[in-house]
A and B are shown apart, each in its own frame.
Chain A
Amino acid sequence: DGGITQSPKYLFRKEGQNVTLSCEQNLNHDAMYWYRQDPGQGLRLIYYSQIVNDFQKGDIAEGYSVSREKKESFPLTVTSAQKNPTAFYLCASRKTEQGSFRGYTFGSGTRLTVV
């Protein structure tokens, strides 16, 4: 079955360390997204990519970086510049071509705790 995989599910890091969250999809989706969710809140867009080797900042990109070297992969790095990195991180993907259903498919998330 096709899907989108995030790893690890739980991640602990010390303050000041960079950490990279993995997101892989085998759905042949063109677009991929990273969202952050804080307790009781909706999802906030960090970065997104519509095509390989291209990505755009979302609403809260500061302190984060991404790469899109392969269609299947969209890793997110949480840098030490992110002031409050503890959160639940969600990766999503979707088709972008005309006529296709453009709903999002989400991964199961990574809960990052910085101590």
Chain B
Amino acid sequence: DAKTTHPPSMDCAEGRAANLPCNHSTISGNEYVYWYRQIHSQGPQYIIHGLKNNETNEMASLIITEDRKSSTLILPHATLRDTAVYYCIVRVYNYGQNFVFGPGTRLSVLP
């Protein structure tokens, strides 16, 4: 399994873009990058996933470097409701093995 590393915590001003980095230097060619977030006392929520191209949906954008060794989750206009723990997970897409949710990055959006 490719392991991921990311900062334990980050702050972001409300209305600004939040850029959450994730390093996955041992990622293999068939492993996808998934992002989830967990708001306090709730279950984790899926945000986005990608293989090598940049991806965007209604929640966020995912930028994956050309060598795929790192990625950045971008919340374009952070709100107070985006305060949560964000998990970056690397896993083969079509393989049934379980996801591993580590400690994540705690994002605090400040007014």
Interface residues of chain A, those whose CB is within 8 Å of chain B, are 31, 33, 35, 40-43, 45, 48, 50, 58, 88, 90-92, 96, 98-99, 102-109, 111
Q: Is the CB of B87 within 8 A of A102?
A: no
Asked whether A103 and B94 contact (CB < 8 A) given A42-B102, A43-B101, the answer is no
Closest residue to A35 on the B side, CB-wise?
Answer: B101
Instruction: Describe B's contact surface by its main secondary structure.
Output: loop
* Complex interface residues of chain B between 80 and 106 (CB less than 8 A to chain A): 87, 93-94, 96, 98-104
> A41-B103, A104-B46 given. 18 additional CB < 8 A pairs?
A31-B96, A33-B98, A40-B103, A42-B87, A42-B102, A42-B103, A43-B44, A45-B98, A88-B41, A90-B43, A91-B43, A96-B96, A102-B94, A103-B34, A104-B44, A104-B99, A108-B42, A108-B43
Contacts A42-B103, A42-B104, A104-B36 given; does A48 touch B98 at CB 8 Å: yes
CA distance in complex: A106, B99 (Å): 12
List of 3 A-B pairs having minimum Cβ-Cβ separation, nearest first:
A106-B43, A43-B101, A42-B102
Decide if A109 touches B43 in the complex (CB within 8 Å): yes
Residue on B nearest A88 in the bound complex, by CB: B41
| Chain A residues near B45 (CB-CB < 8 A) | 106
B68, CB-defined interface residue at 8 Å? no
Q: Nearest chain-A residue to B93 (Cβ)?
A: A102
Establish whether residues B96 and A92, one from each chain, have CB atoms under 8 Å apart when the complex forms: no
**A104 — which chain B residues lie within 8 A by C-beta?**
36, 44, 46, 99
Q: How distant is the Cα of A27 from the Cα of B41 in the complex, in angstroms?
A: 22
Q: Across the interface, do B104 and A103 meet the contact criterion of CB distance under 8 Å? A: no
> B96's closest neighbor in chain A, by CB?
A96
> How many Å lie between the Cα of A98 and that of B93 in the bound state?
9
Cα distance A111–B40 in the bound complex, in angstroms: 12
Enumerate B43-58 residues with CB–CB distance to A below 8 Å: 43-46, 49
